[in-house]
Amino acid sequence: MKISIITSTFNSEKYLEENLKALYEQDYKNYEHIIYDNCSTDKTHEIIEKFKDDRTRLFIEKDEGIFFALNKCLKKVTGDIIFLYCSDDQIIDKNLFSKVKKIYNSNKDIIASNVNIVDQDSFKTKRLWLSPKKIGKIYLPAHTGLFIGSFYKDYFFDENYRIASDFKYLRRIFRNENINYKILDITSVAQRDGGNSTKIKNQFKKIIEDLKILNEEKFINIFLYPLKIIYKIKQYI
């Protein structure tokens, strides 16, 4: 099993060294790391050069946002399973990839793990995002703790959505009848808060985009959406 790790960067020096160090400490080494950088002007390139080896594929070009960059990464994937690794996240299990390999069966697998949402600076847990045992109409696992089979590599992010494109992306994948959904019941990644979708000022915008996506899908049980918010609130420590 080859893992394709995709990352977008833009002036990411603050947490990137911890991010890459955690990746390169993984005991399972059969992976490629595809990075699209939006012409960073800080030490991002210097940090990547410090860690990169022949598994690293770095592309530097002006992009139109994170989802644009991630779509570029998806077009370069050559592995069996895809892992979205944001530049300010940090893998917290050194055996994560080995554990994924043990339960990987086919490129139609979707393997979900749990994610710690942590304070940017103190690294203190604020919320524990547990993957649902079964996929419901609204509840979805965290995309930051998800391993997505390459069968879905042609599923791209909708760049018309600036905040909730990941919600639309995951809903499209989980509506596929061929999906092999599996739970890896460990906490795999620490996701720092303060990202585009977690900023307080963007929360209302995200709700509007979520509802617009559900309306596009002609999702008739839209009244279930408040349960998503309640489920999220209950995860806070």
The per-residue pLDDT of the chain, averaged, comes to: 90
Q: Mind listing the pLDDT tens digit for each residue in 68-114?
A: 999 999 999 999 999 999 999 999 999 999 999 999 999 999 999 99
pTM: 0.90
Q: What pLDDT shows up at residue 211?
A: 87
Task: Give me the domains of the chain, ranges plus CATH numbers.
Answer: 3-234 (3.90.550.10)
How far apart are alpha carbons 134 and 131 in whole angstroms?
Answer: 9
Residues in the chain: 237
- One-letter identity of residue 59: F
State yes or no: pLDDT of 60 exceeds 90. Answer: yes
Is there a contact between 189 and 116 (Cβ–Cβ < 8 Å)? yes
Predicted local distance difference test score (pLDDT) of residue 19: 97
Q: What pLDDT does 199 receive?
A: 57
- Specify the higher pLDDT residue, 230 or 175: 175
Query: In whole angstroms, how far apart are CA 72 and each of 2, 77, 157, 169?
Result: 19, 9, 10, 15
The per-residue pLDDT for range 159-208, each reduced to its tens digit, is: 999 999 999 999 999 988 789 999 999 999 999 987 555 555 677 888 89
pLDDT value of position 195: 59
Distance, first Cα to last Cα, the chain? 35
Beta strands per DSSP E along the chain:
3-9, 31-37, 56-60, 81-84, 90-91, 109-118, 125-129, 146-149, 180-192
What does the DSSP assignment read for 88-129? T-EE--TTHHHHHHHH---TTEEEEEEEEEE-TTT--EEEEE
**In 130-224, where does DSSP find H-type helix?**
165-174, 200-216
pLDDT of residue 228: 66
DSSP 3-state assignment of 194? coil
- Residue 91 burial (CB count, 10 A): 22
Q: What is the CA radius of gyration of the chain?
A: 17
